[in-house]
């Protein structure tokens, strides 16, 4: 079937199971070849093809509400709701999102880029539905990785007490981005390996309900069924939350999925359908991946599975640079410990975990727990390093504030993916962490301009006794031949470029510093470029010296203006009663969508061309 001709999921109602199985094969082929061109979240989507078809067959969207936890596994859902024809624009500027987006379709009823929100949202929808005396099904799909999050467990606790009509699809592939960890995972494994009591029950019901006598016999077996259920199932995780359980079910059998979902619709209180799927189903490179390499990818060769983009010679990813530096420091200091909330591969910590297994902790999708666990280590004399994406760090804000900064504990945070990140869009841009971290007492916040400074800041962070956050972007950084370690005075800025004369100063941070300096040098501009490598503390002496010159100052930042570097500089200028004309360039009060970094920077007005147009305008005055 040409899936690009699909307009809505209504056609599924007239299909046989065999026809839907053929459709699943067509969708899987379409996904592999389409994502080979655009990139995207391939492994998770290949794993839920049959599940998504069955959901749209059994339920009636948009009246019923089906939505996916995190949302990056919604590609089959998008195909079935008429968006396959737009997949050439997936995650591209102006194109469709890689996540569910309410503005895209009436079939997208919830949107999220962070995990574990679906159950809370579903319960909220169920309460509103019941208060409005409405009647429709609410069906969140949540994975085993997301279900280990504290937020999901909090929601389950309330769901079990509220007892609202709710059908939870527990998509169990024994993976989040990489392999899952923790006691809950072992509990899921026991459920996964158990002989399905519910399959037995469904078969019995189908057989006995064919006659009047059979129905009486089936009803009479209720006591036996309940005893079996209490013995086999309700001692499991979901029973402890007072939630009904159906499963485990083969998540790649459309027939079995339809049967169990049809039964679940008869329940008047919450029920979990435990579905076993295989991440990357149908594409060998994905199926064999247990490290999360195929979770989200760029363009690739579908025949070989070879990625089309590679790291240039002499470069490393920023994540790899910082992880390697951490590992080097850990060989010298046995108190250094690495922690990450389910991002070993994304944070390039594989080598550290292999070499220092006793000092490595993957805490699963539990950012809050990770940070407070690190605080417990720090208060006991250890030197923890928490590697965390900027957009995920937001979820641990209270723990950073209450448990780390308030007690002035020397936890080092590697704030990965700082700044705009491109194709993942609004939910993943790391542009809010300065506004979150800068107000916190005792916190030091820094960002390096290059590999050498990145290593230096990591080295410095472990030679001081306060909370220390190092921001670094997504992407690659050039590694110099002679790279060493040296301490950086905390709170110090430095001049990166000075023209023959100086008529204007540009203050910036991160990799843009060197780009600005290079362009200023090529054009022989009469400017000074200052590397504000510390957001906090500010270099007040530098600010005083700049104010004494009386020259215009441009503060160029690639994060939010509100709560960012320039906002703190203006506060300091005011508090010190300095006279300094300041022009700010940064992201305004808005969310930035998805696209290439170049496109997004231009749209947000934070591209280098905009900066140099402003420089030229000021120099021409």
Cα atoms in the 13 Å half-sphere on the side-chain side of 528? 19
**What is the CA 488 to chain-centroid distance, rounded?**
31
Are the C-beta atoms of 531 and 508 separated by less than 8 Å?
A: yes
Cα(515)–Cα(404) distance, rounded to whole angstroms?
A: 35
Cα atoms in the 13 Å half-sphere on the side-chain side of 18? 0
Q: Residues with Cβ < 8 Å from 414, sequence gap 6 or more?
A: 322, 326, 347, 385, 386, 387, 388, 470, 472
Is there a catalytic annotation at residue 358? no
Cα(510)–Cα(328) distance, rounded to whole angstroms?
A: 23
Q: Residues with Cβ < 8 Å from 117, sequence gap 6 or more?
A: 69, 110, 151
Q: Which of 50, 111, 367, 557 is catalytic?
A: 367
**Phi-psi group of 166: left, alpha or beta (phi > 0 → left; psi -120 to 50 → alpha; rest → beta):** beta
Which run of H or E residues covers position 445? strand 444-446
**Sign of the four-CA dihedral 207, 213, 219, 223:** negative
Closest CA to 443 of 418, 485, 417, 415: 415
Is there a catalytic annotation at residue 590? no
Backbone angles phi, psi at 87, to 5 degrees: -70, -20
Is there a catalytic annotation at residue 129? no
Q: Which of 129, 259, 279, 601 is catalytic?
A: 279
Cβ count within 10 A of residue 85: 15
Is residue 409 classed as helix, strand or coil in its secondary structure?
coil
Helix, strand and coil content of the chain, in percent to the nearest 5, comes to: 45, 15, 40
Q: Which of 395, 417, 474, 601 is catalytic?
A: 395
Is residue 430 classed as helix, strand or coil in its secondary structure?
strand
Q: Residues with Cβ < 8 Å from 373, sequence gap 6 or more?
A: 339, 361, 363
**What is the CA 55 to chain-centroid distance, rounded?**
25
Strand boundaries in 58-177, DSSP class E: 65-68, 138-143, 167-172
Sole residue written with tokens 């809370």: 120
Tokens of 117: 């929100």
Q: Is 531 exposed, middle or buried (0-12, 13-18, 19+ CB in 10 A)?
A: buried
Is residue 514 classed as helix, strand or coil in its secondary structure?
helix
Distances (CA, A) of 74 to 108, 163, 371, 404: 9, 27, 30, 37
Tokens of 256: 């079995």
Active site residues: 279, 367, 395
């Amino acid at each position: 079937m040409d899936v690009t001709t699909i307009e809505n999921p209504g056609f599924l109602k007239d299909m046989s199971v065999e026809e839907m199985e053929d459709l699943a094969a067509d969708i899987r082929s379409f996904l592999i070849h389409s994502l080979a061109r655009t990139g995207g979240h391939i492994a998770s989507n290949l794993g839920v093809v049959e599940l998504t078809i069955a959901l749209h067959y059994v339920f009636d969207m948009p009246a019923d509400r089906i939505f996916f936890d995190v949302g990056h596994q919604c590609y089959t859902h998008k195909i079935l709701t008429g968006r396959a024809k737009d997949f050439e624009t997936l995650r591209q500027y102006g194109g469709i999102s890689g996540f569910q987006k309410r503005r895209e379709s009436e079939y997208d009823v919830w949107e999220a880029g962070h995990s574990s929100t679906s159950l809370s949202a579903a319960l909220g929808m169920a309460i509103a539905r019941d208060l409005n005396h409405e009647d429709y099904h609410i069906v969140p799909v949540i994975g085993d990785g997301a279900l280990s999050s504290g937020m999901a467990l909090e929601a389950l606790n309330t769901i079990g007490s509220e007892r609202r009509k709710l059908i939870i699809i527990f998509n169990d592939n024994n993976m989040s981005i990489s392999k899952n960890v923790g006691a809950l995972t072992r509990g899921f494994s026991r459920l996964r390996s158990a002989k399905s009591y519910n399959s037995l029950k469904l078969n019995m019901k189908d057989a006995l309900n064919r006659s009047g006598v059979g129905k009486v016999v089936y009803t009479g077996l209720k006591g036996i069924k309940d005893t079996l259920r209490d013995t086999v199932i309700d001692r499991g995780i979901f029973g402890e939350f007072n939630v009904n359980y159906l499963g485990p079910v083969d998540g790649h059998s459309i027939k079995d999925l339809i049967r169990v979902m049809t039964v679940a619709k008869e329940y008047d209180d919450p029920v979990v359908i435990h579905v076993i799927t295989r991440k990357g189903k149908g594409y060998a490179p994905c199926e064999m991946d247990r490290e999360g390499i195929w979770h989200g990818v760029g363009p690739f060769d579908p025949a070989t599975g070879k990625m089309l983009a590679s790291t240039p010679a002499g470069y490393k990813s920023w994540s790899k640079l910082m992880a390697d530096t951490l590992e080097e420091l850990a060989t010298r200091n046995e108190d250094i410990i690495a922690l990450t909330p389910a991002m070993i591969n994304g944070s390039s910590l594989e080598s550290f975990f292999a070499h220092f297994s006793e000092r490595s902790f993957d805490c699963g999708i539990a950012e809050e727990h990770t940070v407070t666990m690190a605080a417990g280590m720090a208060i006991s004399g250890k030197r923890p390093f928490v590697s965390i994406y900027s957009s995920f760090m937001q979820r641990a804000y209270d723990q950073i504030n209450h448990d780390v900064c308030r007690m002035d504990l020397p936890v080092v945070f590697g704030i990965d993916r700082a700044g705009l990140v491109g194709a993942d869009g609004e939910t993943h841009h790391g542009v809010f962490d300065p506004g979150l971290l800068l107000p916190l007492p005792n916190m030091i916040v820094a960002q390096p301009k290059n590999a050498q400074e990145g290593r230096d800041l990591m080295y410095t962070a472990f030679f001081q006794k306060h909370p220390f956050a190092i921001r670094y972007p997504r992407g690659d950084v050039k590694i110099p031949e002679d790279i060493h370690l040296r301490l950086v005075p905390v709170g110090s800025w430095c001049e990166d470029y000075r023209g023959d004369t100086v008529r204007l100063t540009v203050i910036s941070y991160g990799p843009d510093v060197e780009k600005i300096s290079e362009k200023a040098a090529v054009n022989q501009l009469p400017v000074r470029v200052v590397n504000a490598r510390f957001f906090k503390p500010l270099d007040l002496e530098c600010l005083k010296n700049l104010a004494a010159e009386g020259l215009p100052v441009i503060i160029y930042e690639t994060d939010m203006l509100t709560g960012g570097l320039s906002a703190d500089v203006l506060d300091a200028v005011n508090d010190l009663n300095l006279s300094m004309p300041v022009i700010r360039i940064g992201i305004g009060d808005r969310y930035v969508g998805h696209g290439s970094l170049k496109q997004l920077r231009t749209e947000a007005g934070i591209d280098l061309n905009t900066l140099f147009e402003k420089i030229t305008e000021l120099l021409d005055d």
